[in-house]
Structure 1
Amino acid sequence: MPRFFVDQPLAGAPAELNLPPGAARHVQVLRLQPGATITLFDGSGLEWQAEVLNMGRSEVGVRLVSSQAVQRELRQDVTLAVVIPANDRMDGIVEKATELGAFAIQPLMSERSVLRLAGERADKKVAHWQGVAVAACEQSGRTCVPRIAPVLSLSAWLQSLGTADDERRWLLSPTAAQPLAAQAAAARTVVLSGPEGGLSAAEEDAARARGFVAMQLGPRILRADTAPLAVLGWLALGELA
């Protein structure tokens, strides 16, 4: 059954309503007809079954039939703090991280960043990545959309962090002596991953000063767009054990 994200609260909404433009456009692209059944979600954790009532040139009317709470999220909140890779590889990170259950994604720039964003260009990229996350939620069955945070420099982001008392913090480093291994569950995990050339020694030291523990993922050097997804997949699969 087609699933669509609705960027407005559905709880307490009228039983009959017009879909917002984004969702309406997707319904029209699929050429769904009145009487078709669709699934809607608004990011609250609920799903609504709805029936298409009418199709206009720019409007799609639906009737909300029923709602149910579903649980398809990870038991822990995992934030990926990723130095933005080059060549639009961030799109793939956002898409796959959403499918794997990421709670939030923090795009960063570091000393060795190839791609540098600021101002309106950065805002447009964040909006684009948020759209990628929404599409991945529609496909994967998630009902909570991960937040794509504004682009920050690594130093500014580290300075904004509070204490690490309520979360574990991992710094992915190929030179770390400590391998990623089974650990006690945590309510929150923040994974910091560097760019193609890695973080500088000074940046790694700054991360350690903010409570990050350096972890390595084995003998092979993973690409900047592979390493954070490997960790997230490992955490997600660990919850199935």
Structure 2
Amino acid sequence: MGVAVFHLEGLSGAELTLDGPEGRHASVVRRIGPGERVRLTDGRGAWAEGPVTAASKTGVTVAVDDRGVVPAAEPRLVVVQALPKGERAELAVEMLTEVGVDVIVPWNADRSQFRANPERVAKTLAKWQAWAFEASKQSRRSWFAEVAPIATTAEVAGLLAGAALPVVLHEEAKVPLAAVDVPSEGDVVIVIGPEGGIAPAELTAFGVEPVRLGDTVLRTSTAGVAAAAALLARSRWT
């Protein structure tokens, strides 16, 4: 099992203090004590690692003996996830983060059944960001997954227009995902529709020939991670 990962903005210095919510989580919840190794990251590629030299209820002190910077991966993987209901939203965000998706874009699709009032939008976005933050640490990422603001269909169309590879999944598509060429750089944008499917007007707005994963129909919370893994296996995982 690898060392536990915690988020810390400033990583300069031979000795680092992890306090605040992250420090309390390390010392009180995880019960990490002197002698145990931890890794601290700013979530933007830089990391520092070393043994804990002191621990209290407010946090831990780490003596850094190793550090580095992980370059941003190419191509960048962006998944537009139609807003699912209930716990399936958390499942989708966690799995997309764990598999290595760089940016998750919540999408208020026609069939998402999401009431976009300001209070609910803010609460939903905060939840998605918290899930991605925790999943990034759990999967020991140096680059944390980013959750973008909730997007409209027009904004999703704009993302697709600027992508090096635009991918729109649809169960009735004729072209398989395996047939597309994966670029070595730029943005790969994958659009995952809601449980009720992508509406015809949305497909028209996207202006992209849709593709299918396979012969079975996946739930909205699992289709994204399956598509991301299929494309990562032909690019960053090779």
TM-score tier after normalising by the smaller chain length: 0.7 to 0.9
> Do residues 238 (structure 1) and 234 (structure 2) align?
yes
Structure 2 residue runs without a partner (length 5+): none
Residue 123 of structure 1: aligned partner:
122
SS of the residue corresponding to residue 198 of structure 2 reads coil
SS of the residue corresponding to residue 32 of structure 2 reads coil
Residue 184 of structure 1: aligned partner:
181
Structure 1 residue runs without a partner (length 5+): none
Q: Is the 8 A contact 1:169 1:213 kept in 2?
A: no
Letter in 1 for 2:7: V
> Do residues 167 (structure 1) and 164 (structure 2) align?
yes
> Do residues 66 (structure 1) and 66 (structure 2) align?
yes
Residue 215 of structure 2: aligned partner:
219
Instruction: Report how far residue 190 of structure 1 moved.
Output: 0.2
Name the CA shift for 1:82/1:162 in 2 (closer, same or farther; >3 Å): closer
Residue 104 of structure 2: aligned partner:
105
Residue 3 of structure 1: aligned partner:
4
Letter in 2 for 1:111: D
Residue 146 of structure 2: aligned partner:
147
Q: CA RMSD in A?
A: 2.2
Measure, in 1, the Cα distance between the counterparts of 2:76 and 2:122.
24
Name the CA shift for 1:20/1:116 in 2 (closer, same or farther; >3 Å): farther
Letter in 2 for 1:3: A
Instruction: Report how far residue 156 of structure 1 moved.
Output: 4.0
Instruction: Report how far residue 33 of structure 1 moved.
Output: 1.7
Name the CA shift for 1:163/1:152 in 2 (closer, same or farther; >3 Å): closer
Query: Could you give the per-residue CA deviations for residues 89-143 of structure 1, whole angstroms, max 9, x where no partner exists?
Result: 1111111111111010000111111233432332232222222222222222321
- Percent of aligned positions that are identical: 30
Measure, in 2, the Cα distance between the counterparts of 1:183 and 1:152.
25
Name the CA shift for 1:118/1:145 in 2 (closer, same or farther; >3 Å): farther
Letter in 2 for 1:201: P
Residue 56 of structure 1: aligned partner:
56
TM-score by length of 2: 0.87
Number of residue pairs matched? 233
Instruction: Report how far residue 196 of structure 1 moved.
Output: 0.7
Residue 80 of structure 2: aligned partner:
81
Query: Could you give the per-residue CA deviations for residues 134-191 of structure 1, whole angstroms, max 9, x where no partner exists?
Result: 2222222321011101112223443x54843x51111111122212124333122101
Measure, in 1, the Cα distance between the counterparts of 2:125 and 2:89.
10
